[in-house]
Amino acid sequence: MILKVVIEFLYCNCTVTMSHLKLFLAEVQGKVRVSSQERYTENPINAFHLVQRFHYMWDRMASLIICGKCPETNASKAYYRTMEAIVNQSQVFTSKEDVQGVAVALVRLWNTYKLDIDKLIRGQILDTETDPLTVSDILYIAELLNQTNQTYDSIVWLQALLKAFEAGKIEQADDIKEVNIVLRLAEAYSSYGMPWESIKRLVEYQRKDPRDEGIDGNITYYKSKLSSIPEEHRTKTLQPPPRHENQIQYHVVCRGEGERSQRILSSLKCFYRKTNIPIYRVKEEVLNYAPRLSLFYDAIFDSEAKYVKEASYFMLQRSEVVKTDKSNSVSDGRISETGWHADSSHPVFERLGRRVEIITGLSTRQYPFESHSEHFQVVNYGIGGMYEQHTDFFGDTLPDRDRMGVNPIHIQGSGDRVATFLFYLEDVKAGGATAFVNINVTVPVVKGAAAFWYNIKRNGDADGNTLHVGCPVLLGSKWISNKWIRQHAQVFRRPCGKSPDAQDGPL
């Protein structure tokens, strides 16, 4: 139904009728979720196109209603107001910021996974074929990069566009000619500080198409810019900007290219780990010893994972992070949606809580006060969704957080997050690994498996080497559910080490 409305709005010159609005509202109130985009798209280019379409549709619908093509009855005004409220609350339609957000995500994916720009433009992402980007998509992205001082990247995108345009490898748009791209490229080169390159590009174009008389004026303009740069300073070349070391490192580990010593690699192993139920062994792959980090296979049944997703679907809200002033807020560093479930909310969560206990030997019991673990957090990352570098422990900020009521009452006084147990509910087609940037460990997303690590060392210190990233999702969508296990109740289950630097060694 929603598609029908989209098609009618976009392609017919129809007016918005009350029946359209009624149908539309019925659909929206039936909780159509576009914000996670999961049902509609599996790749960043489709996501970009979809968000643009919805944004365009909303604009068009609003203007049709406002400019009176829709019968101006009280009822239609009431519908319009209801729709507006729904739009604001549920993000069913997308705003200008959403369109921008998806474009930024596309660039982030290109950077993180070193995607080949020529292939990306043609809609080839790894071995997946999708719709190509349009000329105006690329001009939009290049402009966004330019406005955010990423001029080098802007030039790369424009050059790729020009190359595809010249080779006829991109569908031409009626209103955009080659000259428009050349002019944008010239402008980008000039803001980059290389006006001589702007002149060169324009002269080259002029040679190809001498009829275009407007070019002369542009050449004169860039010549005047060039004259303000002394000859000996005209040495700049196109160079990738120095990226922050942390960022480079996190991209490397997200791509799974982090290097580890032979000594560490040869100490790792896979085995059936004993649990405190004699007949139950769990498949464990040790990924690192200090900090102790493992992947447990087959830790959650498909039916359980399906339930966890379904129970969360309508509860998901944009994820938040804890700020330095200890309040929670939405952040560009964490792009996902989150929901929370008490273990007691359903037998599936109850069972999963018990399973975490059996596998880890730690307690996850929940009480009205001083619970041994937090509620299950369920997180869905759409295309480009990610969680930038962070640690899960609170360290020194813990007493403050408890006192200021940032923590729900049932976990106040429970101690720090001694360990994280993280179920992967679905496979991700590409990207989305959990990357431990200091130790070069990339935990792949494996449906049904669970990553587990200690955030606190055996001597009680917070372990900075647990710094990790939820890598951007390249293709598909990522669903995880994690349980943070609190420290105080584990005192006899994971006692202090015998020496200050005691590790969680081989079992």
Q: Which residues bind ligand AKG (CB under 6 A)?
A: 379, 387, 392, 434, 468, 470, 480, 482
Q: Which residues contact 354 (CB under 8 A, 6 or more apart)?
A: 364
> Closest distance between ligand AKG and the C-beta of residue 482, in Å?
6
Q: Which one of Fe ion, ligand AKG, none is in contact with 348 (Cβ closer than 5 to 8 A by kind)?
A: none
Q: Which two tokens stand for residue 214?
A: 């407007």
Task: Considering the complex, state which of residue 205 and residue 423 has its C-beta at the smaller distance from Fe ion.
Answer: 423
Contacts with Fe ion, residue ranges (CB under 5 A): 392
H-helix or E-strand containing 297? strand 293-297
Phi, psi of 466 (to 5 degrees): -90, 5
**Exposed / middle / buried, residue 180 (Cβ in 10 Å: 0-12, 13-18, 19+):** middle
d(CA 216, CA 237) in angstroms, rounded, equals: 25
Residues ≥6 apart with Cβ < 8 Å to 491: none
Contacts of 89 (CB under 8 A, 6+ apart): none
Residue 305 binding: pick among ligand AKG, Fe ion, none (C-beta 5-8 Å cut-off by kind):
none
Given the complex with Fe ion, which of 20 and 483 has the nearer CB atom? 483
Cβ closest to ligand AKG, residue 468 vs residue 494: 468
Shortest reach from residue 504's CB to ligand AKG, in Å: 19
Q: Which is nearer to Fe ion, 374 or 392 (CB)?
A: 392
Residue 309 or 334 with smaller CB distance to Fe ion: 334
In terms of Cα–Cα distance, which of 392, 398, 344, 352 is closest to 368?
344
The residue among 222 and 387 lying less far from ligand AKG, judged by its C-beta, is 387
Tally DSSP H helices, then E strands, for the chain: 16, 20
CB of 455 to Fe ion, least distance (A): 9
Beta carbon nearer to ligand AKG, 9 or 393 = 393
- Kindly state the smallest distance separating residue 398's Cβ from ligand AKG, in Å: 16
- Burial class from Cβ neighbours inside 10 Å (0-12, 13-18, 19+) for residue 324 reads exposed
| Sign (positive or negative) of CA dihedral 385, 389, 395, 401 | negative
- Residue ranges of the alpha helices (H) in 35-150? 44-66, 74-90, 96-112, 117-121, 135-147
- Residue 480's binding partner, choosing from Fe ion, ligand AKG, none, with beta-carbon cut-off 5 to 8 A by kind? ligand AKG
Please write down the HEC assignment for all residues of 363-419: CCCCCCCCCCECCEEEEEECCCCEEEEECCCCHHHHHHHHHCCCCCHHHCCCCCEEE
Output 130 or 336, the one with its CB closest to Fe ion: 336
* 169 versus 318: smaller Cβ distance to Fe ion: 318
Q: Which residue is nearest to ligand AKG (CB)?
A: 470
CB 324 → ligand AKG: shortest distance, Å?
17
Question: Considering the complex, what minimum distance in angstroms separates the CB of residue 482 from Fe ion?
Answer: 8
**Of Fe ion, ligand AKG, none, which one sits near residue 470, judging by CB under 5 to 8 A according to partner kind?**
ligand AKG
> φ and ψ at 324, to 5 degrees?
-65, -25
How far apart are CB 17 and ligand AKG at their closest, in Å? Answer: 44
Q: Minimum distance between the CB of residue 79 and Fe ion, rounded to whole angstroms?
A: 43
CA atoms of 245 and 242, how far apart (whole Å)? 9
At its nearest, how many Å lie between ligand AKG and the CB of residue 387? 5
Least Å from the CB of residue 328 to ligand AKG: 13
Residue 282 interacts with which of Fe ion, ligand AKG, none, CB < 5 to 8 Å by class: none
Select the binding partner of residue 363 from Fe ion, ligand AKG, none (C-beta < 5 to 8 A, by kind).
Answer: none
* CA–CA gap between residue 87 and residue 64 (Å, rounded): 16
359 or 379: whose CB is closer to ligand AKG? 379
Q: Which position's Cβ is nearest Fe ion?
A: 392
